[in-house]
A and B are shown apart, each in its own frame.
Chain A
Amino acid sequence: MKSNGVIRELLRNRTLLLMFLPVATLLFLFNYLPLAGLVIAFKDFDFAKGIFGSDWMDPLLNNFDYLFSSSTAFRAMRNTILLNALFITVGLLFEVGFALLLNEIRNKYFKRVTQSLTFLPFFISWIVVGVFAYNLMNFESGAINRLLETIGMQPIDFYSEAGLWPLILTIAVRWKVTGYGTIIYLAALTSIDNSYYEAASIDGATRWQQIRYISIPMLRPTIIILTLLAVGRIMNADFGMFYAMVGDASLLFPTTDVIDTFVYRSLRKSGDIGMASAAGFLQSIIAFVLIIGSNYAARKIDKDSAIF
C-alpha cells in the first residue's frame, strides 16, 4: 500500500515536520495568503466583508478599465521600467569597474580601508540617506547650493526640478550599494588562477590587455547572471528609496513616481483599493513571468546560480 508508506514515513519524521511548522505557518500567512488575495483586483472590495466575502466587480475588469484610463498609472509603469533599466546599466558598469580597479591595488591596507569605507553606506537605511541628500541639496542651507553661491552661480531648487531626479537617484543608488555590489565581483576576480596572468605577462601582455582578455571574460558568467536576476525584478521598484528620497514632493512625480509608490498612495492615502489592487495584480503577473524567464536563462548559463 503506497499511501500507507507515505503516512508511515511522515509519522516517523513527525519531529522534523513539527520543526518545519513555524516557518511553514509564517510563509503561509505572509506569502501564500496574499497570493490568494490577488483576487481583490476583480472585486469591489469592502473592508467589512473581507477579501473573499466582497462582491465581484461588475463588469469583472472594472478596476483594470479604470487603471488603464489613468495616465498616472501608465506613468508609474514607464518610470519603474526606465529607472530600473538605468540603475541596472549604470550599476553594472560601476560595480565591475570598481572591482577591476580595486583588484589592481597591491597595497593590502589601502584595499581594506577603501573597501570598508565604500561598504559603509550599505548599512544605513534609505531614511538616513534621505537626510544626507537633503543636507546636500536643500535650497537654503544645502552644501551644493552653498558651493554654487560661493563660485557665483545661481542655486538650484533640486526638490522642484523633476528632470534632474533620474540622475540624482542613480547617484544615490550608486553611493549606497556600489561597495556591496563590488564584493561579489571581487570574489570572482580573486578566484581566478594566477597562472593565467603569469602566462600572459610572459607573452608580453600589458596589464590592460590582461584585464581585457582574462579578467573580463572570467567575470562574464557572474555579470550575466546577476544582470539577468536584476532584470527579473525590473517591475519592482525599491519603495524605500523612492519614499525616503522623494516622499510627498509631488512636483517630482513626473519622473519619480513608480508602481510601488503609486500603489502605496492609492492604498494608504487616497484609499482607492480597486486601482491599487489592479496595478499590483498587473505588477505581480509581469514580475512572475520575468522572474521565471530570467531564472530559466540564468539556469541555462550556470546551473548553480539560478534560484531554482
Chain B
Amino acid sequence: MVAKKFSISQFIIIVAISLFSLSCLFPFIMVISGSLSTEKDIMDYGYTLWPKSITFDSYRILFLGSNRIFDAYGVSLFVTVVGTVLSLFVTSMGAYVMARRSFKYRNILSIYVIVTMLFNGGLVPWYIICVRYLDLKDTLWALILPMLANAFNMFLIRNFMLSIPEDMNESAKMDGAGDFKIFYRLIMPLSLPVLATVGLFVALSYWNDWFLGLMFVDKQELQPLQLLLRTLISNVEFLKSSSNASAMQRISAQIPSESIKMALTVVTIGPIIFLYPFVQRFFVKGLMVGAVKG
C-alpha cells in the first residue's frame, strides 16, 4: 500500500474526520467560555466559543454561594473512591473463583452470574426492594451498593485470569498458601492490566452516576455532584437562599444564572477532562482486549 503524495479522496476524508472531531470538542469550549463570560454578554451575544470579556465572578459566587457544592463534591468523591475499591475487590475475588479450573463447580457459579445479564426485573421491583427491604433511602450506601457487582466486569476479569496458567495456583498451594492468599498476593498483581481498565470504567460510572441519587436520595446534603448540576439547571434560585447571599450581592447585583450553570458544569467535568489524557489509552486497550476476546 504505497500512499500517493496527495489525492482528493484522502483530502476529503481528512476534512470529514477533522470536522467531526472538532464538533466533539466545541461544546466543551463553549461551556468553559460561558462560565468565564458575564451574564450580560451571554444575554447579548449568546453562547460563543470565546468570551467577550473574562470574569471569574461565576466561580466566586458558586463557591461562596453554597455549601451544597462542597457537600456534593465530597459525596461524589467518596462514592467514586469507595465504590471503585470495593467493586474491584468483590468482583475480582468472585471472578477468581470462576476462573479456578480445579474447582469443580465453578461453572454453576458462572451460570448464577450470567443469569443476571439475561433476566432483568425492571425498575419497579428493584426500587421497592431497595427502599422497603434494604432500607437504602437517603443513605450513602444507596449510591454505592446497587452498582457494586457487575456481571459483565466479572467476566472480563475472569477471561483475563483464565490466561494465567493453573500451575501457578498449584505450585503456590504446594508452598502452603491458602486460596485467599494466592488470589491476593499472586493473581491480583498479575491481573493488574485488566483491573486497571475495569477500575477506570467503574470509577467513571460512579463519578457520572446520578440515577441512584435521583431514585434514592432526597436529602440535599447526600446529593452527588451530577444530580446537583441537574437541580441547578432547572433552578438557580437555591443560591439566593444561602447564608452568603449578601456577599454574593456584592460581587454581582443580580446573581447570574447562565454563567453559574456553566461554571458548575466545568467543575463537574473538570476531573474527567484533567485525567482524560492519562487514562484514555487504558480504556482503548481494555476495549481492544474485550473486542478480540468477545
User: What's the Cα separation between A36 and B123 when bound, in Å?
Assistant: 13
Check if A70 is an interface residue, CB within 8 A of chain B: no
**B204: A residues at CB distance < 8 A:** 123
Excluding A34-B125, A131-B262, 5 further A-B contacts by CB distance (< 8 Å) are A19-B180, A116-B277, A125-B208, A127-B268, A143-B47
- Could you mark each residue 130-154 of chain B with 1 if its beta carbon is under 8 Å from any beta carbon of chain A, else 0? 1011100000000001101101001
Stretch at the interface among A24-32, A78-86, A156-164, A250-258: A24-32
Chain A residues 94-108 with CB under 8 Å of chain B are: 98, 101-102, 104-106
Contact A125 B210 (CB under 8 A): yes
CB nearest neighbor in B for A47? B132
Set A130, A180, A277, A305: member contacting B125, Cβ < 8 A: A277
Does the CB pair A101–B16 fall under 8 Å? yes
CA distance A269 to B237 in the complex (A): 22
Q: Is there contact, CB below 8 Å, between B97 and A19?
A: yes
A27-B292 contact, Cβ under 8 Å, with A22-B90, A125-B208: no
Given contacts A16-B100, A131-B261, contact A136 B17 (CB under 8 A): no
In the complex, A201 has a CB within 8 A of chain B:
yes
From B20, B91, B258, B265, contact of A128 by CB (8 A): B265
Residues of B within 8 A of A16 (CB): 97, 100, 103, 179
Chain B min CB distance to A32 (Å): 7
Q: When the two chains form their complex, are residues B46 and A143 in contact, meaning their CB atoms are under 8 A apart?
A: yes
User: When A and B form their complex, which 6 residue pairs have the shortest distance between CB atoms, in order from nearest?
Assistant: A37-B125, A34-B121, A23-B94, A280-B122, A146-B46, A26-B149
Report if A40-B226 is in contact (Cβ < 8 Å); known contacts: A104-B10, A128-B265: no
Task: Please tell me which one of the listed residues B9, B14, B230 contacts residue A110 in the complex, with CB atoms under 8 A apart.
Answer: B14
Which of these, A15, A135, A247, contacts B27 with CB under 8 Å? A135
A20 at the interface (CB under 8 A from B): yes
Given the known inter-chain contacts A26-B148, A125-B208, A135-B30, please indicate yes or no for A116 contacting B280, CB distance below 8 A: yes
Q: A233-260: which have CB < 8 Å to B?
A: 236, 239-240, 243-244, 247, 260
**Inside 8 A of B190's CB, which chain A residues have their CB?**
none
- Rounded to whole angstroms, the CA-CA distance of A131 and B208 in the bound complex is 14
